A and B are shown apart, each in its own frame.
Chain A
């Protein structure tokens, strides 16, 4: 891992870069996809786009805040804000309270009770439930791998935390979200080192459970049948997927051009939310859709890279779990709208319209950024460089000193080129990072040797 970090861009930039690309593209597509119905129904074509922009800005602030949450796994007596247990169970409890509230006074849309109306915005507590489960699972796995808790306690905690959330979400009912809650938990078990035998058994059990759930609810079966043969009921169950396929097909390779989608003229339902990817496909063609897929690949790659560089087991699982959660959702959405799996009502992370989903996703990414921050801080500390606990308060002088120090020790070609190396260092400093990753990696390896 150290070797790979010596080349190219730091993973956190890849993560932030792909996030920005997806969010901005989403904003553009929301404007395009919702403009017609907005104009017809509200008299202004930018209603949804403006709202999404507001949420994007708020989510950006939330991301920054989340990246500053300095969770310290293994610290003897961390403060409340730094205690991973307090954070994990806190988010989980908040989510569970929200889910209960939704069932009691929630707002029903599209046949499911998922939203909590809080005046200006409505929240989907199931989003927080996903994060809560990821946090609790990551913590439990980290403790388990450190030998702090035995396997049976681990199993008990996971069953309790994920089970409660799963049941509450299924009561809404929202099987798609329930799957997107369980999937990252399962993937965390894979990352956390649970034996292959257990993983296989769990997968088999989950599949059987899903089959049962499909059989007991007729609409799920309808959706499944519509997925298998949309043309059996082209104006009913198959309508959405057929219209989505029309959109992709109409786009071809180059797309029909920005704003020129025809399917958004009330043919494709939920064009600006769950089916935004289809509008990308129609307006920007294969080129556009592959850019989106590629952005998610970069995002996933960067998230996993950050996880692998994490300074402790909890951080590693946290970054891995959140990345898996977002990637799973992206895959579920894109697979559904391209007809590879049944439609489940999962939005495309970062792109679909929806404040709750967008702000939550950005907050989660903020947590991953926090993991990256801690790992680079730890790496610097491990090299013996004193780094202030909160980098934001670090003095400029100290940073320059740091850069010069490492540059002097570095054997990289740039450094020998003198002035060029200075410029490069300057640029990095302006970029707000503490250290060039390459220097850190190289020096760390040397020390080990």
Chain B
């Protein structure tokens, strides 16, 4: 490019100058204007057209739904004494990022809440935004901790289940888990009633769970749980547990159980099992102690069932209590020889004597007279083939096969209670038929729902036995105590009717047959015999020293029954039935029972 040409060009640029170039400024303004226009249009699209969709996604990303726990209802006994209540408590949690002095905080936590300093330290230094340090701490301790003003440690409202009487009725009440959900017992069975319905809280939170102020919205108030009143009588329950424990200790038994029931209504006044636990600290207890044995454990009832066999024979009009039977020392049924518990010679006994002396051979004779089908039918009527329907979780049913499945020798043992199994509660229910004049009731714990007075609580009951037969059987069973094997069950001033039971335990090691030396001793009875107010079943599992229900279980029955009579202010027996109040005679019959025994 020549120098001249360059100069010419430059001159042209200079002269052509401003006017042409100002057009370019307008062009630039136009470019920017259109860019801003595009952005404006994009904003309209983004904020008006697509806006609601994005707003919804943003809301979903920050909204969390939280449950507001309702207050759990309390459980009371029939007199309004609290058995389980909910108390205010605090959960202690940490936001590890905000903890400034983990060492000091861990030390303070260990000293106030108890526990290991190192485990607190591990939690406080965890790489997390939230960590529980302790749950359901009582309010005073939480307050003490709060007063220390530890940084990064926070408190959350919660409630704590408290069982003020500790071990009292522990297996009946059960317990709740950390989220107040019923895990066992009444707490589990009536969880829906007690638990209420949690409320809902919608909270807006940042990515780290930081609450956004003003972003909290209550959607639903929690519905607090309802109170439950049980038919349990706290005092009777206490007495039952005390006497049971005494007997179990005395006989070095494996376990034991007691049922105290109102035979007319099926209301359970007390239900005790050993071993016990404290539901306030159930997590450290042996789960074996959680078993509410009268409901969940089955056993071979043994001679107690003889009263049902006898009742069936009388109801069918085959015999009456005075009918005489000639009983050989042994009897052969289906190729098996049946013995008495205590060998004797051939005797002539009445039907009543068969029951009072608890004769196996006599019962078999009654069973043979009934036939398999009718025997089964009556056992069914007494509720031995079905669950009782008690309001308690995990009820067991026992075992009584239909007659088609019986072996040839079944009729030789089922009439006196071997080869079948029942729960103590099933037995109590069956015995209640005799006690209450012929009705099969539904045993139950629920007495009333005070928060819902309008709700009608009805329990099934059906008539299965005539009142006459029931009355006759009450007289027979009263004789068991006055003259037979149950003398130890006597209660001063009251006529007691009942039946002893000493059942062998089936082997648990998979081999058919009975475990040698392992028995369940029981006494089942009711009083006053002429108008029974209370029915009590006592079972002692694997007693040592003696195995007989009349020796091991009957005295416990007597003590509990005696307490019930005075506690419930039941007027003493009129003397219509032979009431033995003489102490020396009582001792005598007890001795006789020891000698005679039952099966």
In the assembled complex, which residues on chain A have CB atoms less than 8 Å from the CB atom of B112? Answer: none
Q: Which residue of A lies closest to B8 (CB)?
A: A147
Shortest CB distance B129–A (Å): 12
Q: Which of A249, A266, A331 contacts B51 (CB 8 A)?
A: A249
Distance A40 CA – B97 CA, assembled complex (angstroms)? 12
B24 and A267 within 8 A (CB): no
B40 and A246 within 8 A (CB): no
In the assembled complex, which residues on chain B have CB atoms less than 8 Å from the CB atom of A293? Answer: 36, 39-40, 43
In the assembled complex, which residues on chain B have CB atoms less than 8 Å from the CB atom of A144? Answer: 10, 13
A297 and B33 within 8 A (CB): yes
Number of A-B contacts (CB under 8 A): 155
Within 8 A of B (CB), among A10-37: none
Task: Using known A-B contacts A286-B48, A304-B28, determine if residue A265 contacts B210 with beta carbons closer than 8 Å.
Answer: yes
Distance A249 CA – B52 CA, assembled complex (angstroms)? 6
A331 and B21 within 8 A (CB): no
CB of B215 closer than 8 Å to a CB of A: yes
Within 8 A of B (CB), among A131-162: 144-148, 150-152
B214 and A260 within 8 A (CB): yes
Q: Which residue of A lies closest to B15 (CB)?
A: A147
In the assembled complex, which residues on chain B have CB atoms less than 8 Å from the CB atom of A249? Answer: 46-47, 50-55, 57-58
In the assembled complex, which residues on chain A have CB atoms less than 8 Å from the CB atom of B212? Answer: 262, 265
CB of A335 closer than 8 Å to a CB of B: yes
In the assembled complex, which residues on chain A have CB atoms less than 8 Å from the CB atom of B62? Answer: 262, 265, 267
Q: Which residue of A lies closest to B98 (CB)?
A: A40
CB of B77 closer than 8 Å to a CB of A: no
CB of B11 closer than 8 Å to a CB of A: yes
A285 and B58 within 8 A (CB): no
B14 and A145 within 8 A (CB): yes
Task: Using known A-B contacts A1-B22, A253-B47, A293-B40, determine if residue A263 contacts B58 with beta carbons closer than 8 Å.
Answer: yes
Within 8 A of B (CB), among A247-280: 247-253, 260, 262-263, 265-267
A252 and B47 within 8 A (CB): yes
B208 and A266 within 8 A (CB): yes
CB of B453 closer than 8 Å to a CB of A: no
In the assembled complex, which residues on chain B have CB atoms less than 8 Å from the CB atom of A300? Answer: 29, 32-33, 36
CB of A296 closer than 8 Å to a CB of B: yes
Task: Using known A-B contacts A246-B61, A293-B43, determine if residue A251 contacts B11 with beta carbons closer than 8 Å.
Answer: no
Q: Which of A267, A290, A296, A307 contacts B61 (CB 8 A)?
A: A267
CB of B516 closer than 8 Å to a CB of A: no
Q: Which residue of B lies closest to A331 (CB)?
A: B35
CB of B17 closer than 8 Å to a CB of A: yes
Task: Using known A-B contacts A251-B47, A265-B210, A281-B47, determine if residue A304 contacts B29 with beta carbons closer than 8 Å.
Answer: yes
In the assembled complex, which residues on chain A have CB atoms less than 8 Å from the CB atom of B36? Answer: 293, 296-297, 300, 331
Q: Which residue of A lies closest to B43 (CB)?
A: A289
Indicate with 1 or 0, residue by residue over A172-194, a CB within 8 angstroms of chain B CB atoms: 00000000000000010011110
Distance A290 CA – B53 CA, assembled complex (angstroms)? 20
Distance A301 CA – B18 CA, assembled complex (angstroms)? 19
Task: Using known A-B contacts A307-B25, A331-B36, A340-B39, determine if residue A247 contacts B58 with beta carbons closer than 8 Å.
Answer: yes
Indicate with 1 or 0, residue by residue over B204-216, a CB within 8 angstroms of chain A CB atoms: 1111101010110
Indicate with 1 or 0, residue by residue over B555-578, a CB within 8 angstroms of chain A CB atoms: 000000000000000000000000
In the assembled complex, which residues on chain B have CB atoms less than 8 Å from the CB atom of A290? Answer: 40, 43
Task: Using known A-B contacts A187-B28, A249-B54, A260-B214, determine if residue A193 contacts B20 with beta carbons closer than 8 Å.
Answer: yes
In the assembled complex, which residues on chain A have CB atoms less than 8 Å from the CB atom of B35? Answer: 331, 335
Distance A260 CA – B214 CA, assembled complex (angstroms)? 9
A266 and B206 within 8 A (CB): yes
B28 and A190 within 8 A (CB): yes
Distance A148 CA – B13 CA, assembled complex (angstroms)? 11
In the assembled complex, which residues on chain A have CB atoms less than 8 Å from the CB atom of B43? Answer: 248, 281, 286, 289-290, 293, 338
CB of A102 closer than 8 Å to a CB of B: no
Distance A388 CA – B342 CA, assembled complex (angstroms)? 141
CB of A56 closer than 8 Å to a CB of B: no
Shortest CB distance A259–B (Å): 10
Q: Which of B1, B24, B54 contacts A245 (CB 8 A)?
A: B54
Distance A174 CA – B530 CA, assembled complex (angstroms)? 103
Distance A193 CA – B9 CA, assembled complex (angstroms)? 13
A250 and B58 within 8 A (CB): yes
Shortest CB distance B56–A (Å): 8
Shortest CB distance B217–A (Å): 13
In the assembled complex, which residues on chain A have CB atoms less than 8 Å from the CB atom of B13? Answer: 144-147, 193
In the assembled complex, which residues on chain A have CB atoms less than 8 Å from the CB atom of B21? Answer: 145, 191-193, 316
Residue among A151, A248, A301, A327 with most chain B CB within 10 A? A248
In the assembled complex, which residues on chain A have CB atoms less than 8 Å from the CB atom of B22? Answer: 1, 308
In the assembled complex, which residues on chain A have CB atoms less than 8 Å from the CB atom of B1? Answer: 150, 152
**Which A positions have Cβ atoms within 8 angstroms of B?**
1, 40, 144-148, 150-152, 187, 190-193, 245-253, 260, 262-263, 265-267, 281, 285-286, 289-290, 293, 296-297, 300-301, 304, 307-308, 313, 316, 320, 324, 327, 331, 334-335, 338-340
- The 6 lowest CB-CB distance pairs between A and B, nearest first, are A249-B54, A147-B10, A246-B58, A265-B206, A286-B47, A249-B51
| 22 A-B residue pairings within 8 Å (CB atoms) | A150-B6, A150-B10, A152-B1, A190-B28, A191-B25, A191-B28, A246-B61, A248-B46, A248-B54, A249-B50, A249-B51, A260-B214, A262-B212, A265-B62, A265-B206, A266-B208, A300-B33, A300-B36, A304-B29, A307-B25, A335-B42, A339-B46
